[in-house]
Amino acid sequence: MRLKVGELARRTGLTVRTLHHYDAIGLLVPSARSEAGYRLYDATDIGRLHAIQALRLLGLPLADIDGLLAAQGGALPDILRRQIVSLDEQIAQATALRERLGLLEQRLSDGDPPGPQDWLATLAQMSTYARYFSPAEVQSLMTNGKAVAALWPPLIAEVTACMAGGVPADSPQLQPLAARWMTLIGLWMESNFDRVTRWREMYRREPVVRLDNGPSAELIAYIEQAIGLRMAALLRHLSTDDLARLGQPPDDEWRQLAHELADLQARGVAPGDAAVQAIARSWAQLFEAFTDHDPALAARLMQAMAAEPVLQAGAVATPAVRDYLLRAMALARPDATTPP
């Protein structure tokens, strides 16, 4: 197949003038000419033209392209690979930019019409977030953050009261709050430990991301001491992979079941009673889902709960209710275990 210059220009989207220029500088000399003197381009010429345009898209000047093609012998596969890599990078950059613009639009549309200070503050926050998280992660943080936003203020108020009241960070009294804090963080960060670590580092280093009504750096340091004790206790029995496999603890459901158990226990209902057994089955089902339906993982978590007072202090069930539940489960299954 041989194409005249006009047809080649039409089919490639280039101009005849461009092709003439390439010929004039020796970059793309047609392999043949017709009897009438018209330029004729064959398959080899067309392949070289693609290589030229690919290198142009990579940003190389025409003066460098001829030498590069000569050095590579016009190795089109290598050039194609470079073009693909370049396009992938452009796509990634464009996608990231689009997502950031979308996040900015969403952030600004949540409130009143933005003024200059709103724009500046939002842009500063978004730029800071971009240094620690991908656009997709920022989107997830914003979406999940809205879902748990109402749960933070009362918890922050309780932790603040403990700190103001002089409750030591290593006190068992703080552990239920530490457990709730960890649960909210898990919901917000999708139980991604790497994401939690980056958030902690960003919050510590970047004052611009701290909201006026958010927890102070002092409060964060205070609760993190309690959380650190909790994590250390867990890691004495479970691996980080184990922790990543755990689901979100169904604390509300467990708390309701614990309340019902406490009422039955106070009325002297025996652990083998049908009502108690029904609650025990519901509790066990929640625990199985929480531990990824893995008996070995469940056993390791139970070992941690039995051996670590700091974990027991943050449990949703009191020791008496937990013992009552354990006896109920033992009647149903001799090898039964019970969650926190």
Alpha helices in the chain (DSSP H): 5-12, 16-24, 43-57, 62-72, 76-109, 116-132, 135-148, 152-164, 175-189, 193-205, 217-235, 240-245, 251-266, 274-290, 295-307, 309-313, 319-332
**Distance between CA atoms of 280 and 93, rounded to whole angstroms?**
53
> What is the DSSP pairing of strand 3-4 with strand 39-41?
antiparallel
- Reported as a single tens digit per residue, the pLDDT across 269-282 is 999 999 999 999 99
Decide if 71 contacts 99 (C-beta within 8 A): no
The C-alpha angle with vertex 87 and arms to 84 and 90, in degrees rounded to 5, equals 155
Looking at the whole model, is its pTM more than 0.95?
A: no
| Percentage of the chain modeled with pLDDT above 70 | 80
Q: What is the largest CA-CA distance in the chain?
A: 110
Given this model, what pLDDT does residue 47 score? Answer: 83
Quote the tokens at residue 301: 């978590």
Q: Mean pLDDT of all residues in the chain?
A: 83
| Residue found by looking up tokens 């693609």 in the block | 50
Quote the tokens at residue 247: 């689901």
Given this model, what pLDDT does residue 156 score? Answer: 92
| Residue found by looking up tokens 């749960």 in the block | 151
- Structural domains of the chain, ranges and CATH numbers in brackets: 3-74 (1.10.1660.10), 251-332 (no CATH)
Residues 6+ apart with CB under 8 A from 159: 174, 177, 181, 215, 219, 222, 223
- Reported as a single tens digit per residue, the pLDDT across 223-270 is 999 999 999 999 999 998 898 888 888 888 999 999 999 999 999 999
- Reported as a single tens digit per residue, the pLDDT across 158-167 is 999 999 999 9
Bridge partners, residue 38, by sequence: none
187 phi and psi angles, rounded to 5 deg: -65, -40
**Distance between CA atoms of 95 and 61, rounded to whole angstroms?**
27
Decide if 316 contacts 340 (C-beta within 8 A): yes
Question: Nearest to residue 220, comparing CAs of 308, 278, 160?
Answer: 160
Q: With the CA atoms of 220, 223, 224 and 230 taken in that order, what torsion angle do they form, in degrees rounded to the nearest 10? A: -160
Kindly indicate the confidence band of residue 338, based on its pLDDT and cuts at 50, 70 and 90: very low
Question: Nearest to residue 143, comparing CAs of 135, 153, 131, 132?
Answer: 135
Quote the tokens at residue 234: 């867990």
Given this model, what pLDDT does residue 13 score? Answer: 84
| Residue found by looking up tokens 């000569």 in the block | 70
- Reported as a single tens digit per residue, the pLDDT across 77-135 is 666 666 667 666 656 655 555 655 665 566 666 665 555 555 555 566 667 877 888 87
Report the length, in residues, of the chain.
340
Given this model, what pLDDT does residue 336 score? Answer: 47
Given this model, what pLDDT does residue 124 score? Answer: 67
